[in-house]
Structure 1
Amino acid sequence: MASKPFIALATTVLFFSLIAVNHFGKPFHGKLGEMEIVPITDTVGPESVAFHPVGDGPYVGISDGRIIKWQPNEHRWISFGITSPNRNHIAVVLSGDKTGMLLKYEQESKQITVLLTNLSFPNGVALSKDGSFLVFAETTKCRILRYWLSTPKAGNLETLAQLPGFPDNIKRSPRGGFWVAIHSRRCKVLSWILSYSKLGNALIWVLPVDVITKAYSVMSKYLGSGLALRISEEGVVLETLELESGNKMSSISEVQEKDDHLWMGSINMPFLGVYRL
């Protein structure tokens, strides 16, 4: 009888091979010019970018939970903080986990209020221009949700946009609407697996989480999508950003627009990508 490690390895190879077969061959349309690369020293996965209002930074969130900051006078990155290490997003997606929540934090009272529960991998939050609602990605279900904060609709939740892949982060664009980064496309095989939570949990039982994570880390360099969408506050696609096949940037995790540039993060690259609009 085959040993469990052998079964785990064989299942891992088969699982990601099936996804790859369904992913490759998707059309890529080059709509951007040359990408400037901003190296991140001794690490991979600069997922997100933030700038201080007075011009400090940028600050970069790394996929291992650390935050680093650019020191212009020293021309180097320094450690700034750490948030949540040892995250296993693959297991969350495969298991069909619905324990996600949307929380509100009151700065003055230091009180936390639970606004929404039973969410499938909620990811990224952005406010509308007038502050009447917020939007966030529900990654597993490949959609953007809108939660109303004011107006007669206050407290209501609705689907703003259904997406062709798994959204990672969402940021408001200074030109209007929101930039949504698509980590990878939703292929037929993965859609089938996600429709049966028992199958996803069986995969997690057969395959150790660290094996799945490492295998996906390698495969995501090929499976990852160089795709992002700018959608309006009503969910209409305003702009599509899709990189050419073979471009160095894959598994886009965030698009942050600042001063006519798009700063692009990734979960598996050792650099940020910067494009001039």
Structure 2
Amino acid sequence: FADVLYTGTADGKIVKIDGRNFHVIATLGKPPCGSREHEHSCGRPLGIRVGPNGTLFVADAYLGLFEVNPVTGDVKSLVSTEKKIAGRPLGFVNDLDITQDGKKIYFTDSSSRWQRRDFMHLIMEATADGRVLEYDTESKEVTVMMENLRFPNGIQLFPDEESVLVAETTMARIKRVHVSGLNKGGMDTFIDNLPGFPDNIRRSSSGGYWVAMSAVRPNPGFSMLDFLSQRPWLKKLIFKLFSQEMLLKFVPRYSLVLELRGDGVCLRSFHDPQGLVAAYSSEAHEHGGHLFLGSFRSPYLCRLDLSKV
């Protein structure tokens, strides 16, 4: 896939961008699409990874895990959200990563209670009902690797594939969950007190990681989310007065992307304080000397030439 990009869109499509050409290769849900009311049936593809045999593995927020053939457009359901896992529903399937041999897929379920279209509720409540799960592509079994996480979001395998990094968005930190080897079942903090709320995590060519922030924390030390979590009555009042769309207008357009070293130390950061070029960046993917930026709100992709920064 030399210079081909794949992305999911807000109206449920998985698209291939090849130079200036744009092809829809698959849709996972059913029309109508494009509105909040229909998002759960239309589907919302979030995390996408290319597997070892060239197929795409896709995490859809409402519908589950899929394998998509980018040539034929054939879609195969791997994990359906209709089935409960360990007694709890998959409410908000978010991101995934796959081992090099293609045998294990690790994925995040951000909440069993709140769906993607209600993500502001999940953020404001800081609900600790997110999970990291493992799908075995041979046995077709799904196993819970870690639970009680607060909005687990982006996920990225460590180079040795014995652990995964997981962005715990509302906590402004990244956890390391041990999924195999001697420490299996354990978890530690990779980096905390980040200057923003981390969304996706992807490898960088320097051996570290790119982390895109869904929003910045204007003043580390005081967090509106921390403040509200102690005052449930105030939260209820805010949701009575304002819709989610209205609340999103209060989120600054400030875009921030960090490059972390392999040990979690910050190497460098890129900023767009007014969000004039790349507002609401939520993923940074490095390829061929460029950084491609995706967004959970902006209707475009950005490309940054890393040789010029």
TM-score, normalised via structure 1 length: 0.71
Measure, in 2, the Cα distance between the counterparts of 1:111 and 1:97.
26
Q: C-alpha displacement at 1:103, in angstroms?
A: 0.3
**Where does residue 134 of structure 2 map in the other structure?**
104
Provide the aligned length of Structure 1 versus Structure 2: 218
1:58 Cα deviation from its structure 2 partner: 1.1
2:247 equivalent to 1:270: no
- Which runs of 5 or more structure 2 residues have no equivalent in the other structure? 29-59, 63-115
CA distance in 2 between counterparts of 1:178 and 1:97 reads 26
User: How far apart are residue 134 of structure 1 and its match?
Assistant: 1.0
Aligned partner (choices 232, 241, 250) of residue 270 of structure 2: 241
Gapped runs of 5+ residues in structure 1? 1-53
Q: Distance in 1 between matches of 2:255 and 2:230?
A: 28
Question: Which whole-Å CA distance do the structure 1 matches of 2:155 and 2:134 have between them?
Answer: 11
Give how far 1:87 is off: 2.5
Work out the CA distance in 2 between the residues paired with 1:189 and 1:160. Answer: 20
Query: Of 179, 184, 188, which residue of structure 2 is paired with 1:154?
Result: 184
User: Which fold has the larger relative contact order, with Cα–Cα distance below 8 Å and residues 6 or more apart in sequence?
Assistant: 1
1:232 is aligned, of 254, 261, 266, to 261
Q: CA RMSD in A?
A: 2.4
> Distance between the aligned counterparts of 1:199 and 1:138, measured in 2?
24
Aligned partner (choices 184, 208, 221) of residue 215 of structure 2: 184
Question: 1:227-256 deviations in whole A, cap 9, x for unaligned?
Answer: 111112221111211225452212110100
Q: Assess, with a 3 A threshold, how the Cα gap between structure 1 residues 176 and 196 changes in structure 2: closer, same or farther.
A: same
2:163 to 129, 133, 136: 133
Deviation at 1:204, TM superposition (A): 5.9
Distance 1:119 1:96, change over 3 A: same
Q: Which structure has more helix as a fraction of its residues?
A: 1
Kept in 1: contact 2:260–2:268 (CA 8 A): yes
Residue 10 (structure 2) pairs with residue 57 (structure 1): no
Whether 2:50 is the aligned partner of 1:84: answer no
Superposition map of 1:111-130 within 5 A: 111-130=141-160
* Higher-Rg member (1/2): 1
**TM-score normalised by the chain length of structure 2:** 0.64
